[in-house]
Chains A and B, each alone.
Chain A
Amino acid sequence: MPEIVLKINGMEYELKASVKATLADVLREELGLTGTKIMCNEGECGACTVLINGKPMLSCMMLAIDAQNKDILTIEGLADPVTGNLHPLQEAFVELSGMQCGVCTPGMILTAKALLDSNPDPTEDDVRNGLSGNLCRCGNYRRITECVLEASEKIRVGKKYGQ
């Protein structure tokens, strides 16, 4: 098995991985980063979404060896690493109950982060379109939309006052 180096949440991990191993498998089984969830394991549901160089990618459809030399952000790396403070998206999901069973939640939050990074002031339609590749079997779509809009507001207000 080749040795690979993955840069995840700002940390470098050196490990041996099968050439067939997906990024999702390596994250979950080799590194214990089980916040990345697997629902379909076939690239159809968005649950395993991580950000690669800021772009949402399906970690079940990506080989771990292809994720080298890239910045990988998983749900474990989203809260402030120093203070432990939740990201505004996480705060909104917590305060407004943007989850039920919670399996789609990490992928939903990371996809939403990429959306807000590129579109800080989205409309409801922007959010619905931007997240439409992520499935929530518990049907929390309306609530999740509210969470993302709430978080975008918080981030904009925060930026305005220099936080």
Chain B
Amino acid sequence: MANEFSVLGKSLVRKDAIEKAKGEAKYIADIQLPRMLHAKFLRSPHAHAEIISIDASKAEALSGVKCILTYQNIPRVHPLRKFEYLLDETVHFPGEEVAAVAALTSEIAEEALKLIEVKYQVLPAVFNPDEAMKPDAALVHQEYGTNIYHGTELVQIPRLDKDHWLRLEVGSIDKGFAEADHVLEATFDWTPIQYNCSPKSRTVICEWTGEKLTCLADTQLPLFLWQDLSNCLGIPQSNIRVIANYAVGGYGGKMPEKTAILVAIMAKRTGRPVKAALSRAEDFISTHHRISYKTSHKIGVKKEGTLIAGYHKIIAHWGGDTSVPYICQATGLLGCTMLYEWQNSKAETCGVMTNMVGYGPMNGFGDPEVIYSLERMIDMVAEKMNMDPVTFRLKNCMKYGGRAMEYEQVLYGPIQWGILGSDLNSFPELIAKCAEKAQWKGKWKGWRTPVASYKYKKRGIGIALGMHHTSFWPSSAIVKMNQDGTANVLSMAVEMGQGYATAISQVVAETLGIRYEDVNPILADTAATPTSRGNVASSGTSSPINSAKLAAEHVKQRLFELAAPRLNSTVDALQAREGYICVKGTDHKISIANICLAHWQLTGYANNPPVESIRDEKTGQVIHAYAAAVTIAEIEVDTETGMVNLVKLTSGHDCGRAINPVVIENQIDLGVIMANGWVRTEKFVIDEKTGIVLNPNLLDYKLITFLDMPKSEDFQRFFVERPCAWGPFGAKGMSETAMTAVAPAIANAIYNAIGIRIYDGFLSPDNILKAIEKAAQG
């Protein structure tokens, strides 16, 4: 397969590799501008309080302080989809911004924060999401009347029912359960909160030239920040330039932050560049973390082991974040309903607010949190049927022609099933290969039978499926040919470590028939690059890179038209390779550089086609982008200490086509450590009485290290390449899919080892010991 390409499918050197290895890559944090001021933020010590008075006069008098913002002296505007004003007279979680200071140095700015006198009237607060749903609960936003989110005047969610739940049903769930021979149900407690912990805490620099703002932002969504700045500052987007060069791993967390808007206001008022760089602790307590779900599943199965009905309930805990209302959960609903071929399926969800820091999108965007419980539940059903979990999944997994839903339809459209095209058709092959590579047959000894036991150590094995939509969205790109036959590709999407700059260059080089080294990606500059949504929802490959390929085809067509008469040929007879345009099957050729030199900058431009136009060849149905994953984990539990050792991990993926296999393997590794940290080590500790984060540092909040991962020979990743009917060269992306199957595979392996299910989801030694002790007491 790989031989048909000269650039694609090869693990070429990353575009940013040399800069990063030499320490030359300049992140926002590394940039200093002349006369630059430094910003710091005063944060609420209370979870819920009204500001009675705020006196900044002493702080203003401090030498070196140039600007102070409070709710009293800035516009009353709402940042993107937020309830609260930019700075509000009411604070809703501990850590929320109360005031901002810009000063000559960060030390002076910090000193000034101490001099701002604030009197608070403390209000009742609610932290426990179960409590927050009760009718008599304290309200996070009193004027809203409920803690269950259902949109605002500005944010309409038309699909919500009157009781504020989002529901979808396909077939008849009642009929399904009536026909089932066995029905099982279980509720899984709140999934762990996870801090996204970008290696670089949030950093932004704003500078004005006259009425024009330049914002250097460490964001994965320059488009949204651009809109947010325009809305909040009341200036046109044409006067704002957001540049997100060398963003640092957002993992879903680097959404627009109000700090950028506050910094822009201070830069305007002082006439100087202003930089805000959050400390690690500030980043912990004020930026949004992984959404938390409490899920219930009820599953009906026929006696031969066919799934006939599935009911899924997701209650989502958002804390104080409303920036992506119901979108994470809509993804989660898809996760529930699309892994298996349910004949009858119902899913419902609601979102609960509390007086905590926000919980929202993070690597997986609402899918891992529900697949974690669903895949444990599927194991419970397989055990009930006394079927091998691999066999059970092979029998019931989504296959070609299975029914699936479109993402947009869940939130906004009428619910109808589309027929899956060439997307989620690889599960049978992925499962079979994964089982073979992990030597499942030799290891699986049956339910509640460990793979091996040695004194107090028990070894277990577990499997799980995963998926994530790699959204196909509107997007556009430009490919400019330079006079020497090299090319620049312009795209608003962001390189934040995932390999976007590399992948887009490979696709453009392959399309144009030029060298990879001769493509220069120009990214994430809202003044120069054509619009795309940015890098969210693993859409980089499927959306902006797809439009880059179309733009490259556009300019290639122009090159061919110019080359044809010079080669005494026709456009149809030409092909581009190795920097030349050749007449197929002959030696006639002309260099691309030659054509480019003769014709002033040739430029290709393209938009992605409408989503509705992408149809499966066989069924004619509209299809969408879903990447699939299967993980098998082998673990060893020390039943005396509760410690879990991840012995072996096998992770298989269908990403359509692998543009750069090594880059994709790195993204798989990312998903694996994210999932491991999430359910094993990264305990986010919040005081139940105050809502204050108690461990906002990397000593007490444990990230995964080298030693927590299996050694190389025990850590296998592989691809099944099923080029999709659309997407650049059939690639559909993957990043977030990597995480989805890992946590449930580990949990299922622990169950296999010790025969005890842990429903609260955090698989720490203490929780495992507690579960073992509880089981021993009967």
Contacts and interface: CB of A to CB of B under 8 A. Distances in A.
Given A34-B23, A42-B280, A139-B669, A100 B499 contact: yes
Nearest to B249: A101
Interface stretch (A63-71, A72-80, A155-163): A72-80
Given A41-B280, A42-B697, A44-B698, A101 B706 contact: no
Contact of A109 (B21, B26, B29, B499): B21
Interface in A75-111: 75-76, 78-79, 86, 90, 93-106, 109
Interface string B273-286: 00000011000000
Interface in A15-60: 28-29, 32-42, 44-45, 47
Contacts of B20: 93, 99, 102, 105
A105 B21 contact: yes
A146 B674 CA distance: 20
B280 A141 contact: no
Contacts of A86: 18, 21-22
B25 interface: yes
Given A41-B279, A79-B22, A94-B21, A102 B497 contact: yes
A39 B199 CA distance: 5
A33 B711 CA distance: 35
Contact of B709 (A28, A133, A141): A141
B712 interface: yes
B21 A93 contact: yes
A128 B280 contact: no
Interface in A96-155: 96-106, 109, 124-125, 127-129, 131-135, 137-146
Given A101-B248, A105-B20, A145 B199 contact: no
B703 A142 contact: no
A103 B21 contact: no
Q: A95, A98, A137 — which one has the most chain B CB atoms within 10 A of its CB? A: A137
Contacts of A76: 22-23
Nearest to B281: A42
B197 A142 contact: no
B11 A97 contact: yes
A137 B199 contact: yes
A50 to B, nearest CB: 11
Interface string B682-726: 000000000000000111000111110101100100000000000
A46 B32 CA distance: 23
A144 to B, nearest CB: 8
Given A42-B280, A101-B248, A101-B249, A47 B199 contact: yes
B647 to A, nearest CB: 15
A40 B698 contact: yes
A75 B711 CA distance: 27
Interface string B632-676: 000000000000000000000000000000110111011111100
Contacts of A34: 23, 26, 29-30
Contact of B197 (A74, A127, A137): A137
Interface in B182-203: 197-200
A132 B669 CA distance: 16
B74 interface: no
Q: B246, B703, B706, B715 — which one has the most chain A CB atoms within 10 A of its CB? A: B706
A93 B20 CA distance: 9
Contacts of B23: 33-37, 74-76, 105-106
Given A34-B30, A47-B199, A132 B707 contact: yes
Given A128-B711, A141-B706, A135 B698 contact: yes
Contacts of B670: 100, 138-140
B496 interface: yes
Contacts of A97: 11, 13-14, 17, 499, 662-663, 666
Nearest to A90: B21
A109 to B, nearest CB: 7
Contacts of B712: 124, 142, 145-146
Contact of B666 (A75, A79, A134, A138): A138
Contact of B249 (A32, A137, A146): A137
Nearest to B27: A103
Given A41-B280, A137-B249, A143-B665, A128 B707 contact: yes
Given A75-B22, A137-B198, A40 B669 contact: no
Interface string B21-42: 1111111011010000000000
A49 to B, nearest CB: 12
A89 B15 CA distance: 18
Q: B280, B666, B670 — which one has the most chain A CB atoms within 10 A of its CB? A: B666
Interface string B235-266: 00000000000101101000000000000000
B542 interface: no
Interface string B79-92: 00000000000000
A97 B502 CA distance: 11
A144 B663 CA distance: 13
Contact of B280 (A40, A102, A134): A40
Given A42-B280, A79-B22, A140 B669 contact: yes
Nearest to A87: B21
B388 interface: no
Given A40-B280, A103-B199, A145-B706, A93 B17 contact: yes
Given A44-B699, A132-B705, A101 B662 contact: no
A135 to B, nearest CB: 5
Nearest to A28: B30
B660 to A, nearest CB: 8
Q: A47, A95, A103, A145 — which one has the most chain B CB atoms within 10 A of its CB? A: A103
A76 to B, nearest CB: 6
A105 B18 CA distance: 11
A131 B708 CA distance: 12
Contacts of A35: 22-24
Nearest to A36: B23
A93 B669 CA distance: 16
B110 interface: no
Contacts of B666: 97, 100, 138-140, 143
Nearest to A130: B706
A29 to B, nearest CB: 7
A98 to B, nearest CB: 8
Nearest to A139: B673
A103 to B, nearest CB: 4
Given A94-B13, A124-B711, A42 B699 contact: yes
Nearest to A38: B29
Nearest to B19: A102
A98 B497 CA distance: 11
B603 interface: no
A101 B21 contact: no
Closest 5 A/B residue pairs (Cβ): A35-B23, A101-B497, A139-B673, A102-B20, A75-B23
Interface of B: 11, 13-14, 16-27, 29-30, 32, 197-200, 246, 248-249, 251, 279-280, 496-499, 662-663, 665-667, 669-674, 697-699, 703-707, 709, 711-712, 715
Given A39-B280, A138-B497, A139-B666, 5 more contacts: A29-B32, A37-B23, A44-B697, A90-B21, A101-B496
12 contacts: A28-B30, A35-B24, A45-B199, A75-B23, A94-B18, A95-B13, A97-B663, A100-B497, A127-B706, A139-B704, A140-B670, A143-B665
